[in-house]
Amino acid sequence: MPASQPRSRARDRNNVLNRAEFLSLNQPLKGNQESRSSSRKQSGQAGAAGAQNSNPKERRQSQQLPEEDCMQLNPSFKGIAFNSLLAIDICMSKRLGVCANRASSWGGARSMINLLGITGHGIPWIAGTLICLVKSSTLAGQEVLMNLLLALLMDIMIVAGLQKLAKRKGPYDITPGLLDYLTMDTYAFPAGHASRVAMLSKFFLNHLVLAIPLRILLVLWALCVGFSRVMIGRHHITDVLSGFVFGYLQFRLVELIWMSSNTCQMLISIW
C-alpha cells in the first residue's frame, strides 16, 4: 500500500489533463455555473412576467383544447349549409338588383320602381287611414279603420325593432330616403314594405268584399311591391320573403287582439 500511493501520485502529476490550463475540460468553473443559473432564472422570470402581462384573450387562445381547434378547422354541416345559402342569397340579390343605380341594366326604370315602392310605404297608409277614419260615419267602417290603424302602427314598431336587432345591410350601399327614416326602416332584414303589403293584402281580403279580379290584383300588388325592393338593391331576397312571413304573423296578431266597436268608439271620442 505505501508503495502504490507514490506511484498513483506520480501518475497524477504526469497526466496532462490535470494541468491548470486543461482544468476546465474536466469540471466547469463555478463562475460559469452561477452565470448560467442566473441567466436561466432571469429568463424564467421574464417569461413569467410576459405571461402575466399578456392579453387574457391570447392566454385563452393558447389554452384552447386541440378538439376546439379541430372544430374551428372543420365546421359543422349546418354552418356550411347556412353559409352556402347566405352566399347564394347575396349573389342572386345582386343579380336581381337591376335598378340599383342609373348605370344598371334597368336604370331608366328606377323612378317607376321607386313609385311602386311608395305605394307600400307606411306613412301614406297611416295618413290615408286617418283621413278615412275622420270622414267615416258608420260604426262598422270605423271599427275596421281603427284596427287597420293599429295594424299599421304595430307593423312599424315590430319591423323597426327586428331591424335594430339584426342590423343587416342591403346588397347595395343605398342611402335610405326621408320616408324610410320616418318609419325607422333603415336596415334590410326584414323588409318593411314586404311585411306591410302582406299584412294589408291579407287584411283587405278578410274584411272587404272584393271581386275575384280585385283579389288577384291585390295579391299581385303585394308581390310586386315586395320584389321591387330587391330590384332597386335595397333588400335581399330572404329579407323580402321573411317580410311576407312577418306580415302574415302580424295580421294573425291583429285578429287576436281585434278591438270591438265599443272600444273603437271610446278611442275615437278620446281622440
Amino acid, single-letter form, for residue 61: Q
Please choose, from the candidates 93, 49, 39, 48, the residue with its C-alpha nearest in 3D space to the C-alpha of residue 232.
Answer: 93
Q: Which residues contact 67 (CB under 8 A, 6 or more apart)?
A: none
d(CA 71, CA 22): 59
- CA angle 148–149–150, rounded 5-degree value: 90
d(CA 248, CA 223): 13
First to last CA, the chain: 129
- In the residue annotation, 236 being an active-site residue is answered as no
Long-range contacts of 104-108 (CB under 8 A, 24+ apart): 106/231
Amino acid, single-letter form, for residue 111: S
DSSP codes, 100-157: SSTTSTTGGGHHHHHHHHHTT-HHHHHHHHHHHHHH--SHHHHHHHHHHHHHHHHHHH
Please choose, from the candidates 114, 264, 261, 270, the residue with its C-alpha nearest in 3D space to the C-alpha of residue 193.
Answer: 114
Marked catalytic residue, from 121, 193, 207, 236: 193
Query: What is the chain's Cα-based Rg?
Result: 39
Catalytic residues: 193, 235
